[in-house]
Amino acid sequence: MLVPVALFARAAGFVVPILIAGWFGVRAETDAFFFALSVPSVLLVLAANAMGTVVVPPLASIRVHSPERLASVVAGAALASAALSTSAGIAFALAIPLAMPHFTTFDAYTQALAARYTWMLLPFVSFVGALSVVRAACEGMGAFRLAGLAPLARALAVLVTVWVGKASGPDVLPVGMGVGALFEFLWLAAVLRTAGVQWAIPVFPAESLTALRALGPVLIGEAMVALNLVVDKAFAAGLSDGSVTVLEYADRARLVPQTLLEASLLPVAFQTWATSRAHGDHKSQQASAKQALRWVFLLAPPALAGMIVGREAIVRLLFDRGAFPDGRIVETANTMALFIPAIFASLLGALLVKAHIVAGRYGLIFHLGCLSLALNAVLNLILSRHFGILGLAASTSVTTVVVTIASWSRLGIGWPATDGVGMVVASGIACALLWPAAPASVADFTLWACAVPFVGLLTVGAYRSRLAA
């Protein structure tokens, strides 16, 4: 039921980089902006996957046992999360000017611009911290669809702000991000109020200790994973001009299916698991986790394999306009294709992390994060020397697959069902057979002919998922 909502809301978010590509193209200013944006993007992941995650089990317990305290607890957690994000943002803004001369080949102008953009993005960082908690509270109250529309409010605010101020140049980009985060917060606050949770004086109850004990290892573990984005862009900054921007555009394109599934399945599954545990029903929690993972195996592979075959057509449809240079199309498309294996592993990994957190395995999240950062840095160092930006994308995929396998092995629910493995194999074979066709345009009939087997496999996966449900 959430998929149409996620499609509608997230589609607006994906329009943002498309229009940025058309309005500003690939140049030093966009390199500076996307490099600066990588810092609050790290904080965005930290807030959503750390603070916004560890509060879910305590909030579920409060909702079940003492709902009258929910409003003040949500307010306190949102305030604490915003303060944490802001502090980290200031620390990053102070460190970036010192780090760039050693980790990038940016000239003095681009370095100064990136440093300034990092400070300009601080309002965005602050709101991101509060957003994670308020969104979790909305989903805990069952307002999944209204909360799922929040990205639409952000995207519209960003686009209007950037469009109005684009004549002033890329300086309007960080301003637009802050305005967008503000509008998303206001939307979620209204949703929470509609769900029956009125704003109250912030408090930090005894349940906060549970979240605080989890916050340290989860925060550090998720920070390690999120820092991979900064590491990738640091390596890209040492390649040819425009490499940081190409990496950003390729990464945005590959996030379409990942964001769609995470916006629909993940929040419902996580809240369901937390509520089951609050009621003491561990058996139901484990069965639900296994079912959610099986759905990913049945539904994701056909769509991802189809993206690989149609990679160039997808990139041309998204970015081939305005100031975006034609020579970057193939490079962006191939980079996106190499990100695809990481998408499948990330979908599974996101569910696995939530299952471990509900089960209280906080130390495991820390160790998986350390493994992710170390392995990605080593692979980046090796592969970027020989394959450039393609090596960076490949290292991300290899790292994500390895970490996901390690995470699954510790969950204790057995390995995927036969039909799930069969879907992966069938989608891979179809991709290998159709790879040579690789149509370059959505107007090419070959593209739609190639889509037939993937649509067929997706239909089979949906049927199997429905039977399992």
CA distance 36 to 27: 14
Q: Which residues of the chain have pLDDT under 50?
A: none
Question: In one letter, which amino acid is 297?
Answer: F
Model pLDDT, residue 387: 87
For residues 309 and 318, give the distance between their C-alpha atoms in angstroms, rounded to a whole number.
Answer: 16
Residue 229 token pair: 């984005």
Contact 296, 343 (CB under 8 A): no
The Cβ of residue 119 has, within 10 Å, a number of other Cβ atoms equal to 15
Q: What is the pLDDT, as a whole number, of residue 465?
A: 79
pLDDT in tens, 249-277: 887 766 666 666 666 777 777 778 788 87
Tell if the pTM clears 0.75, that is, is over it.
no
Q: What is the pLDDT of residue 276?
A: 80
- Rounded CA separation 37/177 (Å): 9
- Lookup: tokens for 73: 């607890």
Q: Cα separation of 135 and 130, whole Å?
A: 9
CB neighbour list of residue 71: distance below 8 Å, 6 or more residues apart: 197, 198, 199, 200
Please give the pLDDT value at position 425: 93
d(C-alpha 395, C-alpha 407), whole Å:
18
In the numeric block, the tokens 């149609």 are attached to 310
Give ∠ CA 52-54-55 in degrees, rounded to 5.
70
Q: What is the pLDDT of residue 267?
A: 78
Amino acid at site 290: K
Going 320 to 325 to 327 to 333, the CA torsion angle's sign is negative
The 3-class SS string of the chain reads CHHHHHHHHHHHHHHHHHHHHHHHCCCHHHHHHHHHHHHHHHHHHHHHHHHHHHCHHHHHHHHHHCHHHHHHHHHHHHHHHHHHHHHHHHHHHHHHHHHHHHHCCCCHHHHHHHHHHHHHCHHHHHHHHHHHHHHHHHHHCCCHHHHHCHHHHHHHHHHHHHHHHHHHCCCHHHHHHHHHHHHHHHHHHHHHHHCCCCCCCCCCCCCHHHHHHHHHHHHHHHHHHHHHHHHHHHHHHCCCCCHHHHHHHHHHHHHHHHHHHHHHHHHHHHHHHHHHHHCCCHHHHHHHHHHHHHHHHHHHHHHHHHHHHCHHHHHHHHHCCCCCCHHHHHHHHHHHHHHHHHHHHHHHHHHHHHHHHHCCCHHHHHHHHHHHHHHHHHHHHHHHHHHCHHHHHHHHHHHHHHHHHHHHHCCCCCCCCHHHHHHHHHHHHHHHHHCCCCCCCCCCHHHHHHHHHHHHHHHHHHHHHHHHC
